[in-house]
Every structure is written in structure tokens, then in C-alpha cells.
Amino acid sequence: MSLFKGAATALITPFKDGKIDYVAMGKLVEWQVNQNIDGLVVCGTTGEASTLSAKEKIQLTKFVVDLVNGRVPVIAGSGSNNTADVIELSKEMQATGIDGLLIVTPYYNKCTESGLIYHYEKIADQVSLPIIMYSVPARTGVNISHTAVAVLSEHPNIAGIKEASGNISQICQIASYISDDFALYSGNDDQTVPILSLGGIGCISTVSNIIPARFSKMIHDYLDGRYLEAGAEQVQLKSLIDALFLEVNPIPVKAALNMMGMCNLEYRLPMCLPNNKTQYMIYDTLEEFGLVGR
């Protein structure tokens, strides 16, 4: 059983004076739900999870779960390069009432494929929630191969994979393991429709921070058989998606939300303000898409 179909927004984490801005977070979450988003992900890459303490992650997740109150699924990121720490945090996240866990591959350690499989199996054995594995080798240095997926997709608590390798050939191989109990999600906004064409059922998205209804509609158009419309929309959105990756995520998307009046332009180091050229390019693109006033 899949956690969601469609678009799940990988939420930013707004900050104010170095602390989580819960007022801005609450407004963002309500807007997302009212825009008919299909799911929400907290404490992911886009949420600057690597700079949040474990206590902050749990508090933020509980805040979102309570606010959403079952209206859409809430998935929390609990990945780390220490298996024991992932298990501990995952159990605490589970107690907040979330619907599932997003667990990125262990980074820096450079584990073998056997170690990667043991890592996920050990975690999945210790929690009762469905897990979506997250493969983003450009950031972690660790890839989840189709041979690893062949093993891990058999675990009853491993419900799918967020695939952000960018390698369509690999994703095609992984797609052969899709089943009623194992889902494929796009982790790259600009490859969403191609991944849907391979049997994917959604995207854990950055761009849906700023266009939740539009991005969700594109996915549901495809899932409902309106393939040409979805493909045309994917092409139309390419320049907007590119603008959100002019610098490393989530620097540009948080700048975009700031321009839209939804959060402060504040990050935690080593994330920092985008350069002036990036800011101008983001604003011009938002203006082109009607997301800021002319």
C-alpha cells in the first residue's frame, strides 16, 4: 500500500533569528494543504535537516502532524550515517503520529552494498512505519542500485524509493520491482513525468513548495491518462525548476518563498544567501510564472 500518490512537498524549514519560525511554518503548511497537495515531508534535504538537532526535528515533526491532523500524509526524514542513531530518531519520530519515514542513504562512510542493505534492513526491523528509501548519490556519495532494491523491496516495512540519481537507465531497472507493496517516486522535479512513464506514482518535490496545486495536477493528469497534457506541463515547468536549482537546494527555493512573502531569507550555515545574480534570475522567473507581482 503506497503512502501517497501525486506530489508530496519536501518542505523548507523557515528560520527567524536562528530558531525555527513556527508561525511561518504553520502558514506554509496550511497553504500547502489548501492547495490540495498530496503529502508533506518534513526534515528532508529541502528542510535543512542536516542543521537541525534531533530535538528540533522531533518538535517540528510533531508540530506539522498536529496541524495537519490527518488531512494529508506526513512523512519525516530520519536518515543519518549512523544506523543506531537512525533507529533511535525513527522511533521518536514514529511516536509523533507520522505516516511514514524517508531515510536517505548513509553518507560519508562509503559503505559497501552489503552494508547498505544491512543498514536499511536493521532500521526496518526496528520500526513499524513504512519506509521510503532515498537515493541521492550526488549529495551522499552512495547509490541504491537495482540489485540492492531487489533485496530491500522484499522487506514488509520498506514501501518504496525516492529516486534522485538522475540515471534513467538505473531507474528503469528499479521499476521492475514496483508492486502493490513497493512504490517508485521521483526525487527530481524535472524527471517526474519520465519516471511516471516507468510506473512511478508521484514525486517528493522541491518545486511544489511554490506551486503545490499545479505540480500535483501535472502528476494526476498523467496518472489519470492525460499523458500529453502532463508531458507538456513538464516541459513548461522546466525553466522554473531550473531556477530553483541555480545554487544548491534549498538556497533558491527558500529565496523564492521569501520573494512570495512566505518566509524570512534566513539559513543555517553552511547554507547561506544566494548571490545577487541568482536572486535576480529567480525573481524574473517567478514573475514570468505569475508568482510575484509585476
Task: Let me know if 134 is a catalytic residue.
Answer: yes
Look-up of cell digits 540489485: 147
Neighbours of 54 (CB within 10 A): 14
- Cβ distance 255 to 220 under 8 Å? no
> DSSP secondary structure string, 156-180?
TTEEEEEE-S--HHHHHHHGGG-BT
Q: Which amino acid is at 178?
A: I
- Cβ distance 212 to 9 under 8 Å? yes
C-alpha dihedral (101, 142, 50, 45), degrees to nearest 10: -60
- Secondary structure letter of residue 42 according to DSSP: E
**Element at 15 (helix H, strand E):** strand 15-16
Catalytic, out of 57, 162, 217, 254 = 162
Residues 6+ apart with CB under 8 A from 205: 7, 8, 9, 10, 186, 189, 192, 215
Which among 292, 50, 72 has a CA at the least distance from the CA of 202? 72
Catalytic, out of 57, 120, 134, 177 = 134
| Catalytic positions | 134, 162
